[in-house]
Structure 1
Amino acid sequence: MLKPKTLIYYLATLLFAVLIWSWSASFQHASIQSVENVSGNPLYAFDSESVEYINQPTTPSWQRSNNNSFSFGYRSGSAWLKFELPSIAKNDQYLLLDYALLDHVKVVRTFSDGHSEVWETGDKSKFSSRYFPSEKFLFPLSPDDRQSELLVGVSSEGALKIPLFITDKLGEIKRAQYANLLIGCYIGYMLLMLVTSLIISVTTTEKRFVLYGVYVACIALLNLQLSGFLFQWVWPNYPNINGFLTLFFIYLSVFFQLAFVESYLNSSRGLLYKISKGVKWLSLAALMLTVMPDSYSFLSRLGIGFLLVACLLSVILTFNSMRRSRNVDTSLKYFLCGWLVMLVGLFTSTLSTLGVLPPYPVLNNAAAMSSVLEVFFLLAALFERYNQEHKEKFALTIKSLKASEERAKVERNLVFQATHDPLSDLPKKDILFNNWPRIIQSVPEQSSLVAMIVHFDGYYDQVLAFGHQIADEMVKHLHFRAMRYAQDRRNFVPIDLDWTLKKVAVLDSHDLCLISIALDPMIENTLITEMHHTLSESIVVNGLSLEVDLTIGVCRHRPGDVVQNLIRRGQVASKEASERRINSLRYSDKMGLDPEYSGRLLIKFKKALENDLLQVWFQPQINTDDGSIRGAEALLRWNDDEYGWVSPELIIPFVEQSSLIGALTDYVTRKACVFVEEYSQNFNKQIQIAINLSARNLDDERLAHRIGGILVEYNVPEHNVTLEVTETAFLGDSPQSKTTFAQLAALGVKVALDDFGTGYSSLSYLHELSFSEIKIDKSFLADFEHNERSLSLVKVAVNLGKELNMDVVAEGVETKLIEVKLKSIGCTICQGFYYGRPMSKEQFIEWAFAFDNNGSIIE
């Protein structure tokens, strides 16, 4: 079986043989004879002055033709041929001038008696002026038994070529039919090449096929123009454009030929490329000059040179590309063959026109024949290059796909490592979060999900005791234990949907998460108990039996809630279970337990503070010596529209951790000053007011300045204000806390040590700081009535206060007996429910008016 390369060369050889035979056969008819055979060697003469119109030369200088050739090359002017014509006995004899590009043709037949016949036509006359409708020039020779002399005069601005034949009508008809058949085949062949290239260019978007198609069109139109068929069939009534269109097709062919070569060879560097570029753009400049009058003679000669140079450059550039290539591919060989064939054809046609070669039909049509072979080789080169590049692209695609597969494997492995725990390959929480919508969809209708958070309490204890390696092994065992437990139970749903279908997710080093379909509460409780028992069994690592301390937090999913909230609530429950030392705990909305609600609570508190929706209530302090009202403590109260009455013990710790504590202290101080002002107006006397400070307040370097400003604003004497602080405000020995304390003392306000006796350093701070008052914590009075030890401790505190010249206030007085015992040990300032609960400003003033006439509340 023939290889494609061998088949291409065989087809080219066959095509070449067919072309040679076809163009040779066009003049094989017996009735077509050359004038040499009829009259011997004719004479010729030149008249270079007569170009536009031929006049019979008056003083000719006749010369005899030595080689029976009538090709005089590329020269402007006119030429005459003279030869004897014997008697003609047949009808329908014609003189055939087998060259289509002659501006003027004049034939004069002179008989021996002086009678003459004259015919005149040419390319610069309308096609209808011709005596026979042929692309060539045909003149009738009437039958006559006399000898005659034929003078044939031609003029041209291009090539002077006068191949003459004697034929009859039948011979001419067959010649014309054969010529039309050849031209039809030529047109069909070139159209096939053109359409093929355009179809491929559309399907592949290859620029080279487009340039090839345009070049094929240009070279085909040029050969059809040179053969005279375009003038005959397309514009017979417009002879003046023949010269322009000939030049147009020549230079356009050169331009697109070089553009096609540059694109195919992909050359953009080197001297040859620059020369090719220059010739290409010079051809375009020459194309612009074709519209100038009287330029055909020069531009036609120049155009032949451009065609030869373009083909020569194409051959050299291709050969140079083959020389530089390591592996010369077949496409370059086809490409070189195409341009070599065209170069040989053009060179042969030029030599024939110059008269160097005899005017045989094959040689006269060498350019057209070579163009057929040329476009065949060029298309073969394009197909070979396209197939080669397609194979290379296919190989690269396969290689790229393999690389992509390898890269995908690596990336998938990296993603797996990033989303799965390195100890047990269990999915991390990101997998759970991303797959949550799909997990929700997998749950049967009218069912809900429950998150079970397994919290490992003892991790850091194991790290400290045995090191990270043992602790990690323990965690790994726990992971696998949880995985095995969940994997075989249908109530647990898969979490790792895209990888391993594992039913356990790792939230962090302490927590695992299992998602279960909600069961009957009793069954669910049994399951949780069983799971805790299974997971908390001791683990043996390196011969060590390690106890597992874990808790389980349970939270039911709420419709529409995000998975992050579900997990967080489960973690809150597991943490609370750990603090309570119980095995498991279900989540509830207990205030302060859940950061979600504490955050919402703090936001609402901020709005209440900004909109004056908080309340300050007052609890009285009584002097038990005379039963008079000694003062009151300002206490914060907040009634929220959603949560109702919120305990200060709940909200204050959150406020202390935020930036609101300073604003809250200012708010309470202002409300307390308003209370003192109204109390003074109602009772015409001052009242001592106690205001609580936070430990964060003492870190505020502007606290004393702000409080002093508020007291001045409301005209409240500084000595009537007591600021209560606990010893935790001084933990850490913050320099700013002690500086603020000194500033407050310098301001003139009293500073009380609140919750005295509950800390570790109360005596130390009493020694270091100048407090005005100590306040005994109510925890000392809880069993005060029946515990002599508590009574003794309070007595020590009272005596200490007196020794340090400080007031002593006891809070938490709830019975008459406690009051009596306190008074017996010298503590006469009391505060508690026995005297009055915290009241609003209005309630407090109303309560104070209820005193007896002596102003005493003591019974």
Structure 2
Amino acid sequence: MELRTLRYHSLAVAILIFIFFIINTLASNLVVPTRYTIDKTSPMYLNHAYYIDETKNQTFDAIIKQPNLLTHAPFSEIPWSFTQQNYWLFLDLENKSQESQKVVAHFDNPMADHLTVYRLDKNNHILKTYKLGDREKKLTLFQYSVPHINFLMEQKSTQRLVIKIDTVGISKTPINLYRDKEFVDLMRSQTGIWGIFAGVLLMAALYNLVLYFGIKDRVYLVYIGYIISALILMGIVLGFGFYLWPLEWQLFFHHKVIVSNYAVSFFTLAFCTMFLRYHKDKCWRYTMSKALLSLMFVMGIASFFIPENIAAPLFFCVLALLYVACTILIYKKLLSGFRWAKFYVFSWVPLILGAVIQPLELTGVIDYSFTSRHAFLVAILCEIVLMAMALADRVRYQRERALYHATHTQQTKLLNSSKLKQAFMSLQSQNRSTTLCLIKICHFNSLNTIITSTQGYTLIKHIAERLENELMHEREFANLETDLNNSPRLADLNSGVFACISTKNQNQDTLKTLLTKVISNLPKQYEIKGLSLQLNYTIGISSANQSNDFEYWLKRGYLALKDAKGRADRVASSAINNSLIMDVGLAAHLQKAIKTNQLALYYQPQINLVNNQVIGAEALLRWPDPAYKNISIEELVILAEHTGIINELTLWVIEQACKDLVELINSGHKEHTISVNLSAKNLAINNLAEKIENILIKHQAPAHLLKFELTESAFVESQDVLIKLVDELSALGIKVVLDDFGTGYASLSYLVNYHFSELKIDKSFIFDLVNNPAHQVIVQTSIDMAHQLNLSITVEGVETQEIHQLLKQMNADRAQGYLYAKALPYPEYVNFLKSQYSLKMLDSPF
């Protein structure tokens, strides 16, 4: 154990000892008053007798005149019960001292309905009659909470107290006589215990209410319900409830005490069920708990109308079911390893002990004393403290579990990207080298179509275990998490991608060699139900600078992983200073550039191969801002597609192309065409053909000079929409071009189903056309087929005069490429059109 931890543990133990010292001091000052009754402190002699009137018809006079009815025995031998009957208690007092004594008679049962006390002289003449009990009117709060009388015993005198107890429910009424001083001690002790109990419970309720608003867990409301119901019940049993609630409320609680018992039991079971999370499991134990809760609720409501002497025995039967149910619920969870429930289990120990002591004391099985009288109160107090500790332990466990789920993948239990980010930020703060190494199981997503998710996760865990073992031998890879049992270096990024961090300063070729060695030791085969899967791996490397941008770093790693697919060694790296990573910020700048016309269209001329004249141009998007000069237009279009601004960008390109087309016509190029590219994403534009028509009308651009080039990706994604769009564009007079012809899988079928006016042969067939007979056959066949279908042919990628001459011999209609000109800004393109003499040299002898 670390020295700092040991220091804090020692401090905690010292605080615990100090708290126990305070409790001991408090307990020693709270004397046990029942040891100091008047017969033990003064020469006062008592004789006891009692009579049980089962008919409830006997009167005071009849009882006095029939002394033979009395049973002369201590009050501790009275057979108290819940039966409807009256109890007559006779207490003969003789003061043999030479001094008068101020006596206080305490009747320790604030739940008694009617408690009548007759004080008699030695001749059985009534000196005074006292009316006590919670059914009596106009008593003080002190008389309600602590039923008692005060009287004076002269020296050498005798008196008799006759106490009639007429109540429904708990009838046992311990009677103790004190001198004034001892009675004050009693009140001090009771008030101290009551104050501690009520104070702790109220503070616990407030604290857990705050926790509920913070955590939003219903179990805290149930816990507060238990606290309040326990406070009500103990306030009834011990009498201090008169100081907590309005008098009318407390008297109502007194008359419906069994309802309070059911409330405590209800919240006890509800807390047990929710604390142990059975409401999430929905198993048969949860059904049992709901059924018992429903029973207690119904019985609690019925207790409003059932006499207490009948409702009490029924409650004790339900209480037995409660203990059985909670034992089942707790035992099952302990078997499943609920280590955080230990405090809750301990909380049942004082509850069970206190719950046993109270009914035994009330029924006379255990002798009455100040300790036994307050045993259940202390038990509930201990239980609530332990329950609070259990809730705190549960919150700690949930926080640990939430942290675990936040840093681990749920299915594979491996570290995830959050832990990878933590490690990255930590290494960056230490100014250490951080090179991301991504290792991917090739075609993992395709594998998932033939294996189940569970089998896929098992495969990932198997590969991860082997990969972790390989990395363990290489010290340059950082530990992503450190604990006593494990120091993993690997994170699972889902979809068969694993990540680790190299902290060694080295060139990427050295790192590539090391990672190639690592994956060479990974499994090449994996068997699932007799099927032997063939496994291959790709590697992507991304080095970070001190920008502290984890997303940038990770995104570059994924780009490198993507590049590795096409490499023979399946390893690729992404350098730090490559083109900017596309993100939301860049998309925002692009959108602003669209709205403020900061973009531009460049034009690459298309040449008529018959007369070498420029007859049209393809409009190509450019972003002239120097800050973004390193971003390729392909990346820009992908960014626009991914961020949803591709349609806005496309409409801008169409409108700008129409503007430039009108200017070209006005400058004398009456038959010059402009081609604009459309992608699959553009098909999502509502009423695209109508919007194009509105642009043509707005700028008075002739439709027959506008072309739209469509790639096969548009056909694959939305054929039905595309057929309609091509028909609508053709109806407007716009020419539709099938772009990149020959590179798709079903290009021939497109020629039948769509109204194209032109084919554009992909440049991949043109670069080596002179030296590739196969490509010559494909190009010649395409040209002949197009002409047979009354379609014209445009060839892109012409870079040499030899290819130009060969295309003329093949009877191609148009061509474009670097041989004629690169894409030019509009002003330069206009100048190019004015001086086309260089094109005339194309047909000169070689």
- In the superposition, the TM-score normalised over structure 2's length comes to 0.55
Identity of matched residues, %: 23
Q: What are the residue-to-residue correspondences of 1:318-717 with 2, within 5 Å?
A: 381=370, 384-391=372-379, 393-394=381-382, 426-429=414-417, 436=422, 441=426, 445-457=430-442, 474-487=459-472, 490-497=475-482, 500-503=485-488, 504-508=490-494, 510-521=496-507, 524=511, 527-536=514-523, 548-559=535-546, 561=548, 566-582=553-569, 584-588=571-575, 597=582, 600-656=585-641, 659-683=644-668, 685-698=670-683, 700=685, 702-717=687-702
In 2, distance between residues paired with 1:267 and 1:672? 90
Match of 2:708 among 723, 743, 748: 723
1:24 is matched with 98
Q: Is the 8 A contact 2:33 2:186 kept in 1?
A: no
Q: Does the CA-based 8 Å contact 2:601-2:620 persist in structure 1?
A: yes
Q: Structure 2 matches for 1:56-455, cutoff 5 A?
A: 192-193=185-186, 195-197=188-190, 199-200=192-193, 202-205=195-198, 268=252, 381=370, 384-391=372-379, 393-394=381-382, 426-429=414-417, 436=422, 441=426, 445-455=430-440
Which digits, 9 at most, give the CA deviation of each residue in 1:322-366, with x for residues without a partner? Answer: 9999866687699x99xxxxxxxxxxxxxxxxxxxxxxxxxxxxx
**Counterpart secondary structure, 2:582:** helix
Aligned to 2:39: 13
How many angstroms does 1:648 deviate by?
2.5
- Unaligned runs of 5+ residues in structure 1 are 28-66, 75-160, 164-184, 209-255, 275-316, 338-376
Shift of residue 610 of structure 1?
Answer: 1.9
User: What displacement does 1:187 show?
Assistant: 6.3
1: distance between equivalents of 2:465 and 2:749? Answer: 54
Corresponding residue for residue 795 of structure 2: 810
Residue 480 of structure 2 aligns to a residue whose secondary structure is coil
Structure 1 residues 840 and 200, CA, compared in 2 at 3 Å: closer, same or farther? Answer: same
- One-letter amino acid of the structure 2 residue matched with residue 394 of structure 1: C
- Cα displacement (A) at 1:734: 1.8
Give 1:176's aligned residue. Answer: none
Q: CA deviation at 1:671?
A: 1.8
CA 1:386 to 1:713, structure 2 compared with 1: closer, same or farther past 3 Å? same
Tell me the equivalent position of 1:178: none
Q: Distance in 2 between matches of 1:258 and 1:665?
A: 78
Residue type at the aligned position of 1:514:
C
Q: Aligned equivalents of 1:618 and 1:413: distance in 2?
A: 60
Instruction: Output one character per residue of 1:189-241: Cα deviation in whole Å (capped at 9) or x when no partner.
Output: 55555555555555454799xxxxxxxxxxxxxxxxxxxxxxxxxxxxxxxxx
Quick one: structure 1 residues 569 and 807, their matched pair in 2 at CA, closer, same or farther if it must change by over 3 Å? closer
Q: Is the 8 A contact 1:698 1:737 kept in 2?
A: yes
SS of alignment partner, residue 98 of structure 2: helix
User: Does the Cα contact within 8 Å between 1:771 and 1:806 map onto a contact in 2?
Assistant: yes
What do the CA deviations read for 1:668-710 (whole angstroms, capped 9, x no partner)?
2222222222223333744222222223445545222122222
CA distance in structure 1 between the aligned counterparts of 2:443 and 2:634, rounded to whole angstroms: 31
1:580 partner SS: coil
Contact 1:624 1:858 in 2 (8 A): no
Change (3 A) 1:72 1:13: closer
Letter in 1 for 2:628: Y
Change (3 A) 1:188 1:558: farther
- 1:744 CA drift (Å): 1.0
Instruction: State the shift of 1:615 in Å.
Output: 0.5
User: 1:789, CA displacement in angstroms?
Assistant: 5.2
Output the CA distance in 1 between the equivalents of 2:528 and 2:815: 62
Superposed CA deviations along residues 274-309 of structure 1, whole A, max 9, x for unmatched, are 9xxxxxxxxxxxxxxxxxxxxxxxxxxxxxxxxxxx
- Alpha-carbon spacing, 1:466–1:402, altered in 2? closer, same or farther (3 Å): closer
Cα deviation for residue 18 of structure 1 reads 5.6
Deviation at 1:645, TM superposition (A): 5.0
> In the alignment, what sits opposite 1:797?
782
> SS at the partner of 2:798?
coil
- 1:844 deviates by 1.7
Equivalents in 1 of 2:127, 2:607: separation in Å?
140
Q: Choose 419-428 or 386-395, whichever is displaced more.
A: 419-428
CA separation of 1:488 and 1:423: change in aligned 2, threshold 3 A:
farther
Deviation at 1:420, TM superposition (A): 5.5
| Alpha-carbon shift at residue 412 of structure 1 (Å) | 7.2
Who is 1:357 aligned against? none
- State the 1:491 CA deviation: 4.2
Note the alpha carbon deviations across 1:563-607, whole angstroms, 9 max, x for none: 565555444434443442435444435878x9x525554443222
Hey, what's the Cα distance between the residues in 1 that align with 2:242 and 2:651? 87
Contact conserved, 1:5 with 1:330, CA < 8 A, in 2? no
Give RMSD over aligned pairs. 5.6
Q: SS at the partner of 2:821?
A: coil
Over 3 Å counting, the alpha-carbon distance change for 1:792 and 1:271 in structure 2 is: closer
- Mapped to 1, the partners of 2:766 and 2:685 lie a distance apart of 34
Instruction: Compute the TM-score of the two structures, normalised by the length of structure 1.
Output: 0.54
Query: What code does the residue aligned with 2:724 have?
Result: T
**Residues in 1 aligned to 2:807 and 2:512: alpha-carbon distance in whole angstroms:** 52
Q: 2:811 aligns with which of 826, 835, 847?
A: 826
Following the alignment from structure 1 to structure 2, what is the Cα–Cα distance between the partners of residues 694 and 816? 32
Q: Which amino acid counterpart does residue 508 of structure 1 have in structure 2?
A: N
Question: 1:718, 1:747 within 8 Å by CA — same for their partners in 2?
Answer: yes
- The structural deviation recorded for 1:849 is 2.3
C-alpha change, 1:537 and 1:192, in structure 2 (3 Å) is same
Deviates more, 1:610-619 or 1:552-561: 552-561
The one-letter code matched in structure 1 to 2:499 is C
Q: Gapped runs of 5+ residues in structure 2?
A: 1-29, 46-93, 102-120, 129-151, 155-177, 202-238, 259-306, 317-355
- Computing the radius of gyration from Cα coordinates, the structure with the larger value is 1
2:733 is the counterpart of 1:748: yes
Contact 1:699 1:737 in 2 (8 A): no
Q: Residues 467-515 of structure 1, C-alpha deviation per residue, up to 9 Å, x if partnerless? A: 8887666544433323334446554444344684331333336233334
What is aligned with 2:5? none
SS at match of 1:597: coil
- Distance apart, 1:738 and its partner CA: 1.0
Output the amino acid matched with 2:491.
Answer: A
Q: 1:770 aligns with which of 751, 755, 764?
A: 755
